[in-house]
Amino acid sequence: MTEQNENRRRLDILLAAPRGFCAGVDRAIQIVEQALERHGAPIYVRHEIVHNKFVVDSLRAKGAIFVDELDEVPANAHVVFSAHGVPKSVPEDAQNRGLAYFDATCPLVSKVHRQAERQVEAGRHILFVGHKGHPEVIGTFGQVASGAMTLVETEEDAEKVEVADPENLAFLTQTTLSVDDTAEIVATLQRRFPAIVGPKGEDICYATSNRQAAVKAIAGRCDLVIVIGAPNSSNSLRLVEVAERAGTPARLVQRAEEIDFNWLDGVTTLGITAGASAPEVLVRQFISRISERFEVREDQVVTAEESITFKLPRELAAAADPA
């Protein structure tokens, strides 16, 4: 065994930090866990609570039942809405059916919802920068009347979009977008519509920005970047794009078992990060798998410290407090 270890090729790993869970994801998972503890299984969850199969499977094992729509939830049950946010019609439907619900919408997404309402109340049409079909986009559009918002996905869209009243216009963005791509789209909108009103602060959340900055910091030093995250996770996909934009090949994987060791041919320095919905245990499992074949040396590159936490809903906070 000693001889085999000595013959293993060395592989340097640069771990991006921050990586993995953000405060909104952590809060959403706690909401499901505390609802289970307080009310017992089953607790129904509308859509994936966060975009990560490991997390969803772990909660399912504890008694969570994931459904696509509320009509799959039986009467008098408890239901949790996902971290991505939902249209106003969803809690209204839950109330009409007498369902007890907990809203796990990330507070930073809720902030965008409130901004959308305020801009429409001020008489402005909203150009919303985001990805069609993403749950967060669907939820945000569902905060205002139909026709009050127009989706802008690309810089080309920003060049072509037509509005009825350029003097009464606002823009908002999905929280999990590419910082660089969004800046270009917003710049185009501001050039075309000088009177357009933007949010007071960036809509792209701190965790998305921090994880992209961390990948930028390591990508130039790596031969390959691995992003641990789900294929339907917007922020994870953006991390792949950030690495590739820096000129470094990148791969998205969900679990350690998905690694193809052929990817590591010729790789001497490997970058690793994780999307905001991916727990650290998946990172450790991935590195453990690689260590079976390589002599691994880890180095963590820290570009920001995160200390943000979000409070649980009042009705669950007491259950979570051991005091």
Q: Is residue 201 part of a domain?
A: no
Query: Which of 216, 270, 205, 217 lies closest to 244 in space, CA to CA?
Result: 216
Q: Is residue 268 part of a domain?
A: yes
Last residue of a domain, one of 106, 134, 167: 106
Instruction: Give me 182's structure tokens.
Output: 């969004």
Q: What is the pLDDT of residue 322?
A: 52
Alpha-carbon gap, residue 53 to 41, rounded angstroms: 20
pLDDT tens digits for 138-151? 999 999 999 999 99
> Same domain, yes or no, for 28 and 53?
yes
Alpha-carbon gap, residue 223 to 221, rounded angstroms: 7
Q: Is residue 143 part of a domain?
A: yes
> Same domain, yes or no, for 6 and 64?
no
Residue 297 belongs to what H/E stretch? strand 294-302
Q: Is residue 311 part of a domain?
A: no
Q: Which residues contact 53 (CB under 8 A, 6 or more apart)?
A: 230, 254, 255
HSE (CB half, 13 Å, CA atoms) of 295?
9
Range of the domain at 34: 23-106
Number of domains observed in the structure of the chain: 3
> Same domain, yes or no, for 116 and 164?
yes
Q: Is residue 197 part of a domain?
A: no
Q: Is residue 309 part of a domain?
A: no
Q: What is the pLDDT of residue 323?
A: 45
Q: Which residues are catalytic?
A: 136
> Same domain, yes or no, for 133 and 220?
no
List, for the chain, all residue ranges whose pLDDT scores fall below the cut of 70.
Answer: 1-6, 318-323
Looking at residue 220, which CATH number applies to its domain? 3.40.1010.20
SS3 string, 229-252, reads CCCCCHHHHHHHHHHHHCCCCEEE
pLDDT tens digits for 189-236? 999 999 999 998 778 899 999 999 999 999 999 999 999 999 999 999
